Structure 1
C-alpha cells in the first residue's frame, strides 16, 4: 500500500495525526510481532536482534552517530547474541521530511520502550545488564523533539508525502527485521544470571 497524504484527507497542520493514520496498518504488524510482550528470554532476544538491525539501518538513513545501535550491541554482547546482517544496502536520504518520517518511528518506539523495559526487568535484565537500550531509549527526549519538529513543519506548504513515505519505510523495515530475527535465536539461549 502506497498511501499519500492527500488520500488520507490529511490536515497539513496535524502531521502527527497524518502519520498515525498513514502508518496504522504497518504499526499494527510490528506490534503483532510481540503480541505477548517480552516476557521470555527468547522474545527479548528476538527483539534485541531485530531492533539492533533496524537501529543500525536507521542511523545510516538519517546519517546519525551510531548511539542506539551501540547500546543494542552492548545488550547483544551481554546476552551472547550475534547481530543480524543487513538485508540490502541502505543509504542516507537527502530529503529532510523523509528523514523526519524515519525519526517519528524510532522516537515513537521510546513510548513502547517504557512498557517493554518493565517486562525485561521482571526477567532480571537491567540497564547495566542486558537492557541498556530500553532503559536509555525509554528515558530519552527524542519523542518530544520529533513532536516539536512536526509542529514547526505543519505550517509549511510542502507536500507531506515524503514525510509519510519515510515513516512507512521505517515501519516496513522494522517489521522485516523482527520477522527475520525470529530465525536467529540460538537454541542454547539462557536467561540472565541470577
Structure 2
C-alpha cells in the first residue's frame, strides 16, 4: 500500500484571530454604527474619546524594541499623537490617560492587542468619508484616520505578514488569541462608558 500525502492548509495567525474575535467585532461595529457618532462634531468628539482611550492604553507597545523587531514599521503605526492633534483641531478636551492595558514585554498578548488596533486602521476609510461630511480632513480633525502613503490594504498586509511570521508556542498562540478577545471586550466597554453619558 502506497503512502497517501494529504496537504494540510495552515491557517494564518491573522485569520485565526479574526475567527476568534469575529462575533465581538461585529457586535462592536453594530453598536458604533447605531450611535450616530458622525452626525455632528459633538458626537464625533465622543468617537475621538473612544479612540484616545484605546490608543493611550496601548501606546507603550509601539515603542517596545522587542515588538518593533517583529513589526519593523511599528513605531510609525502609533495613533495617539494624531488623535490628540484631532482633539486640538476641534477644540475638544481629550479624556484622561488610560492605564496601560497590556505588558509590552508580553509579546504574544501584545500581538493580540496590536491585531485589534491595526484592524481598526484598515477600516478607517469609511470613517474618514463620514468625518469629511463634518468638514474634517486628514489635515484637520481627522488626522488619525489618514491612510498610510502606501495604501491601507498594503499597510495591513505588511502587518499581518509580520504577525504571521512570529514563532509562538501553542500556549503563546492561545495567549495572543485571548488577548485579542480581551481587547475587543475592552473597546466595547470603552464605547459603552463613553456613550452612557452622551
Query: Which whole-Å CA distance do the structure 2 matches of 1:137 and 1:86 have between them?
Result: 26
Shift of 1:120: 0.7
Structure 1 length as normaliser, TM-score?
0.75
Q: 1:158 aligns with which of 154, 158, 170?
A: 170
Q: Deviations over 1:82-117 (max 9, x none)?
A: 222356554524221211111111111112111110
Q: Deviations over 1:20-66 (max 9, x none)?
A: 12112221232123224643124322110110110110113554569
Contact in 1 for aligned 2:108/2:168 (Cα 8 Å): no
3-state DSSP class of the match of 2:141?
A: coil
Select between 171-180 and 31-40 the one with higher mean Cα deviation: 31-40
Q: Deviations over 1:148-169 (max 9, x none)?
A: 023313x755331111022112
Match of 1:79 in 2: 90
Select between 56-65 and 159-168 the one with higher mean Cα deviation: 56-65
Query: Which whole-Å CA distance do the structure 2 matches of 1:92 and 1:60 have between them?
Result: 8
Q: CA RMSD, aligned part only?
A: 2.8
Runs of at least 5 residues in structure 1 that lack an aligned partner in the other structure: 1-10, 186-194
Runs of at least 5 residues in structure 2 that lack an aligned partner in the other structure: 1-8, 65-74
Q: 2:25 aligns with which of 9, 16, 27?
A: 27
1:184 to 1:82, Cα distance in 2 relative to 1, 3 A: farther
Higher CA-based Rg:
2
Query: Which whole-Å CA distance do the structure 2 matches of 1:145 and 1:100 have between them?
Result: 14
**Given the alignment of the two structures, is residue 147 of structure 1 paired with residue 160 of structure 2, yes or no?**
yes
**Given the alignment of the two structures, is residue 123 of structure 1 paired with residue 150 of structure 2, yes or no?**
no
Contact in 1 for aligned 2:53/2:95 (Cα 8 Å): yes
Mapping of 1:97-108 within 5 angstroms?
97-108=108-119
Query: Which whole-Å CA distance do the structure 2 matches of 1:84 and 1:180 have between them?
Result: 12
Q: Which has the higher contact order (CA 8 A, sep 6+)?
A: 1
Structure 2 length as normaliser, TM-score?
0.74
3-state DSSP class of the match of 2:33?
A: coil
Query: Which whole-Å CA distance do the structure 2 matches of 1:58 and 1:89 have between them?
Result: 6
Contact in 1 for aligned 2:17/2:180 (Cα 8 Å): yes
